[in-house]
Amino acid sequence: MLRPAALVATDEATDEATDESFALTEYPQIHFNDGTEDRSARWRSESGAAPPKRVVVADDTMTADSAYRLAAEGTALLWRSDFQNARQMLQALMRRIDRPRKVRRKQAEPDTTPGAAFHRHRQAQAQRAHTLSMLLIPVESDYGIPLSRAPDVRLACREAWGTPEGMASVVSLRELLGLIGAHEWRKKGVDVPALGAHIHPYYGVFAPIRSEYVKLVSQATLPAMTLAFDIGTGTGVLAAVLAKRGVARVIATETDARALACARENVSRLGLNAQIEVVEKDMFPDGRAPLIVCNPPWIPSTPSAPIERAVYDAGGKMLRAFISGLAEHLEPEGEGWLIMSDIAEHLGLRTREELLAMIDAAGLQVKSRSEARPMHPKAKDATDPLHAARSAEITALWRLVLR
């Protein structure tokens, strides 16, 4: 049950709040009235969104049209009846958001340039996500869901949020379903043919489901060397590929806590602890290496949630940091492998000339370049708003050397 703010569980024996230092106010709070009294709970949002200011209690008696109208206006719906019906309500909201809109006769023709289409798409995605996030689910202090027909999500929540901290919370149903889905990915893993094994991604860590960039690293001619750096390792998949190819020592860097834990577990699962060291480091580790690999975010745009940081990076910060710092950490005859899609070029967000200018300014030159076409479904989906860019997209491995 959700409790008033004054009642925060801190004593396992009594489940009552006895320590004022462990206060709910340490975290963002959501406030609502449950029909009898005003209450508060911890607010959880992976994207860091502020808790909704307007909250109404909703149940099976609310119509989908009423729910959609409230959600579109920014009023959150705290669901207090059957969990499976909450899922059906979310699907009903999706259908209402996604149905075609009538175009006004005098409406100006939209800018059809790739960049304008991309920004419209991102704005539409953000608005859609915001509206759908208005359907909320209560979570008990042990991560149980106090609704009929609710699944047991306690393990999935512990994997994403850590050990229960003894307080009730509220989360959007859409985010909770994403958390459940991530738990399933983590449990079964993602098959990586280049490894002949599975990689198990954590919640919030980008899964290697696009195989072309892994395939490029697995097939590129490997220089004769015993040490490599993998910058921004994520799940650890590229470090593992290098180790499987015979690199004696790989130092993989990361800054995200979930990714660090994820990479270390994958390295251990694969029996590669003797070859791969995962370290908490922003970009490059100390020293130099004959091979430095990086698969930075491909699109220079602001991510709207942590999981998007693997794809979106405002201003291409990581790409610039890798290219500008490569010469300082590369051995004289070494190579830097930049693995990156060119979709930003097709979206009008970065030109090939700008990328080449970055490489030249860093005292580097392109030794060679290998390419792969994406195999994901959106590349062939003509109804996708970004189909023109996706259908032309190429992922490439740029072999960079000192000039």
Q: Tell me how far apart the alpha carbons of residues 164 and 46 are, in angstroms, rounded to a whole number.
A: 16
Is the pLDDT at 74 greater than 70, yes or no? yes
Residue 254 confidence (pLDDT) above 90: yes
Higher model confidence: residue 96 or residue 8?
A: 96
Report pLDDT for 104: 61
Global pTM exceeds 0.75? yes
**Higher pLDDT, residue 108 or 278:** 278
Tell me, what's the pLDDT at 6? 26
Q: What is the mean pLDDT of the chain?
A: 88
Q: What percent of the chain has pLDDT over 90?
A: 72
Residue 337 has pLDDT above 60, yes or no: yes
Integer angstrom CA distances of residue 264 from 247, 270, 282, 283: 17, 10, 17, 17
Going by C-alpha positions, the residue among 360, 359, 366, 370 that lies closest to residue 335 is 366
Structure letter (DSSP) for residue 35: S
Residue 38 reports pLDDT greater than 60: yes
pLDDT over 90 at 10, yes or no: no
Task: Please give the DSSP secondary-structure letter assigned to residue 157.
Answer: H
Q: Is the pLDDT of residue 302 over 70?
A: yes
Per-residue pLDDT band for 1 (boundaries 50, 70, 90) equals: very low
Q: What is the pLDDT of residue 24?
A: 40
Task: Give yes or no for residue 105 having a pLDDT over 70.
Answer: no
What pLDDT score was predicted for residue 108?
Answer: 64
User: What would the DSSP string read from start to end of 303-329?
Assistant: -SSGGGGGTB-GGGHHHHHHHHHHHHH
Q: How would you class 93 by CB atoms within 10 Å of its CB: exposed for 0-12, middle for 13-18, buried for 19 or more?
A: buried
Rounded Cα–Cα distance for residues 262 and 265 (Å): 5
* Residue listed under structure tokens 């004959």: 290
More confident residue, 390 or 351: 351
Residue 307 pLDDT: 73
> Each residue of 122-142: pLDDT tens digit?
888 889 999 999 999 999 999
Lowest mean pLDDT among 250-254, 285-289, 311-315, 395-399: 311-315
Pick the closest to residue 142 from 12, 14, 44 (CA basis).
Answer: 12
Residues 70-83: what's their mean pLDDT? 96
Largest CA distance in the chain: 73
pLDDT of residue 379: 66
Average pLDDT over residues 208-220: 92
pLDDT of residue 18: 31
Other beta carbons within 10 Å of 129:
17
**Residues near 56 by beta carbon (within 8 Å), at least 6 away in sequence:** 32, 70, 75, 76, 77, 78
Query: Which domains does the chain possess?
Result: 24-184 (no CATH), 190-402 (3.40.50.150)
Question: Quick one: pLDDT at residue 132?
Answer: 96
pLDDT classification of 328: cutoffs 50, 70, 90:
very high
| Cα dihedral sign, 129-132-134-136 | negative
Q: Burial of 64 by CB count in 10 Å (0-12 exposed, 13-18 middle, 19+ buried)?
A: middle
pLDDT, tens only, 261-271: 999 999 999 99
Q: pLDDT grade, residue 102 (50/70/90)?
A: low
Return all residues near 47 (Cβ < 8 A) that are at least 6 apart.
304, 305, 306
pLDDT at 21 over 70: no
User: What is the mean pLDDT of the segment spanning 90-114?
Assistant: 78
Provide the pLDDT for residue 22: 33
Of 109-123, 270-284, 331-345, the range with the lowest mean pLDDT is 109-123
Whether 3 has a pLDDT exceeding 60, the answer reads no
CA distances from 48 to 11, 44, 51, 171, 377 (A): 29, 8, 9, 12, 30
- List Cα–Cα distances, 334 to 156, 227, 288, 364, in angstroms: 43, 11, 9, 11
pLDDT at 257 > cutoff 80:
yes
Return the H-helix or E-strand segment holding 217. helix 211-219
Taking residues 98-122, report their average pLDDT: 75
Residue 103's pLDDT is what? 58
Mean pLDDT of 29-41: 90
Average pLDDT score over residue span 177-199: 95
CB within 8 Å of 118: residues ≥ 6 apart = 301, 347, 348, 349, 386, 389
